[in-house]
Structure 1
Amino acid sequence: MRNIVETAIDVGGFTTLVKAVQAAGLAETLSSPGPFTVFAPNDAAFAKIPAQQMQDLLKDKKQLGRILTYHVVPGKYMAADVMKMKTAQTVNGAELRIDTSDGVRVNDARVIKPDIVCTNGVCHVIDTVLMPK
């Protein structure tokens, strides 16, 4: 079993997320013991962001860090735990809304693959990049 960053690289489909995590200087944090729960946008989720906006984000370490830490919840919450939650406090201090009335939605993103277990937490793949207000 690998940590969150290593797992994202190994599983594939998270090239943009890994690049963004590295650009924001968060790879070391997400490789630390944690535990963390990451709502991980796949490459298709990042592809919804216009190319120029994405390029600008990759250059803005502060804003990129704000966005990425909005996807991370301290602690390890498996899908069964998430199903019981209405909100989750993120590492960046903002709150995510969780809706389980039709599958699992985190804000406007749908969880498309839950429970990718890592040595330092768990990842749930989502179909949209979450943007903090």
Structure 2
Amino acid sequence: MPKYTASILAGTIAFSAFTSLALAANPMVGGAPMFADKNIVENAVNSKDHTTLVAAVKAAGLVETLQGKGPFTVFAPTNAAFDALPKGTVETLLEPENKDLLTRILTCHVVAAEAFSKDITKMIDDDEGEHPIKTVGGCTWTAKHDGGKVKIEDENGNVATVTIADVDQSNGVIHVIDKVLLPKM
């Protein structure tokens, strides 16, 4: 093999390996790759596990906000988390007359800072086991960790577990959670 061809082949293999590592840095979510150079909305729309969340974000008029500069930390409930709410809840929340309540619920899943799991765990440890999280929607959640998993407790005592952590975004980070957190009503 000519030296020039071998160099091109080696460079192509190295580039492929680098590209694979770059893509592997973010976990897959809902069967879709998540790209650190895309914003929260651009990535979320590709996750088959977050179609309800995406529909809710659209109904609440929050698309532009979550495409903004940030930084944001989003605790993103899965479709299964929304399905676990009482029958008819999601449909009712998506009605135009309930936009304010839907917006409050969704913005209570957003923090106006970028916090990866190592940062959250450190805050929890520094606060001796529990750390208050103030959300954009005016809720105060409590972060804890148990068995290596970050858990978020809402104002009603419901606890969501972070099932996929540290999904890096161009404007923040997403942590996938298994429950919808609700503000005190």
Q: Is structure 2 residue 171 aligned with structure 1 residue 120? A: yes
- Read off the aligned partner of 1:116 and give its amino acid letter: V
- Which has the larger Rg? 2
Q: Match of 2:162?
A: 111
Q: Quote how far apart the aligned CAs of 1:98 are.
A: 0.5
Of 56, 63, 79, the residue aligned with 1:27 is: 63
- Read off the aligned partner of 1:104 and give its amino acid letter: V
Q: Match of 1:45?
A: 81
Instruction: Provide TM-score, normalisation by structure 2.
Output: 0.70
Aligned-residue CA RMSD in angstroms? 1.0
Listed as ranges, the gaps of 5+ residues in structure 2 are 1-36, 124-130, 154-158
Matches within 5 A, 1:1-133: 1-59=37-95, 60-85=98-123, 86-102=131-147, 103-107=149-153, 108-133=159-184
- Read off the aligned partner of 1:128 and give its amino acid letter: K
Mean CA deviation greater in 94-103 or 111-120: 94-103
Q: Quote how far apart the aligned CAs of 1:53 are.
A: 1.5
Q: How many residues align?
A: 133
Which portions of structure 1, spanning 4 or more consecutive aligned residues, are displaced by more than 6 angstroms? none
For 1:41 and 1:53, how far apart are their aligned partners in 2?
15
Q: Flag the structure with higher strand content.
A: 1
* Identical pairs, percent: 47
Q: Quote how far apart the aligned CAs of 1:123 are.
A: 0.2
Listed as ranges, the gaps of 5+ residues in structure 1 are none
